Amino acid sequence: MSLKKILITGASSGFGKIAAQTLALNGYIVFATMRNIKGSNAQYANELELWAKDNRVELRVLELDVTSDESIASAKENVLNSTNGSIDVVINNAGIFSGGLIESFTIDDYKKIYEVNVFGAVRVANAFLPVLRQQKAGLLIQVSSVLGRVVIPFGGVYDSSKFALEAISESLYYELKPLGVDVSIIEPGPFSTELIQKVLQPSNQVVATEYGVTAKLMGSYYENYTQQMQDPNLPNKPQDVADHILKLVETPNGKRPLRVVVDKVTGGVAEVINETASKVQESILRDFGLSELIINVEN
């Protein structure tokens, strides 16, 4: 049996980098993609290529900007040309984080966040799903967040982008299941990764001065959150996400769960929501005569 070929976005750092390395070390052919591999991410790209050479694994770094149709098309061509036209797993990991008062985010701020977290994932999926459908097998992994299931104050814009990704991904699960293509959503909780360090700040900072007590609450929240992320004993480790991605890749087609929570801090909350929502969705599907689309649950 040929080795599975895997493409992952946002592999310059964080979950993406660790997952790419974990998959490569387990014998898979990995296309680790990121934007600006000749520019702002040149160091990350070079380090990953050197790591692959030192570890003698099949990992290739490719340029892919999820906000660019042309970049995705070019990456797709490069991948398929080197794999005789096939791909087994596509992992939408690229994302940006944001925080602040809802009113302080401009429409342009929203667009920047959605362009990556929502539209970027859709672009990549739309590019590669025709290949998976033609193969009648494959896996699309969407890296979402626990904040795609619960809402926290001062995180509403980011949360909303992950809620959107969750809805799109679940719909894809139903639509692709009869065609032999699996969709799984990874829902990480709070992790200390580069994503947290690169927060997109809202453009209208002045409005915070008009929020009084709420602004003070926000300041206290972020101070506590920063301390939590800097705690070396934080139970959530980025490798946990990579290990769950590996587990999904190695699970047989048709047996993969839709959602997997990866969170030792607040995961219980998301799991309760997922279990409850699954029961509701099961009822809806039965009522509409779509029992064959009922969601698999994680063992």
Q: What is the DSSP string of 110-153?
A: HHHHHHHHTHHHHHHHHHHHHHHHHHT-EEEEEE--GGGTS--T
Annotation marks residue 169 as catalytic = no
Query: Nearest to residue 34, comparing CAs of 68, 3, 57?
Result: 68
CA distance linking residue 1 with residue 246, whole number of Å? 18
Annotation marks residue 144 as catalytic = yes
Residue pair 261/274 in contact by the 8 Å Cβ criterion? yes
| Strand partners for 32 | 8, 61
Half-sphere exposure (CA, 13 Å, Cβ side) for 287? 6
SS3 label, residue 183: strand
Which residue in 12, 13, 98, 160 is the catalytic one?
12
10 Å Cβ neighbour count for 196?
Answer: 15
Which residue in 98, 104, 144, 145 is the catalytic one?
144
Annotation marks residue 12 as catalytic = yes
Which residue in 28, 44, 158, 173 is the catalytic one?
158
CA distance linking residue 222 with residue 150, whole number of Å? 18
Which residue in 76, 112, 162, 177 is the catalytic one?
162
CA distance linking residue 113 with residue 115, whole number of Å? 5
What is the dihedral angle through the alpha carbons of 44, 72, 116, 242, rounded to the nearest 10 degrees?
-50
Annotation marks residue 158 as catalytic = yes
Q: What is the DSSP string of 188-245?
A: E-S--SHHHHSEE--S-GGGGGG-HHHHHHHHHHHHHHHHHHH-TT-S--HHHHHHHH
Catalytic residues: 12, 144, 158, 162
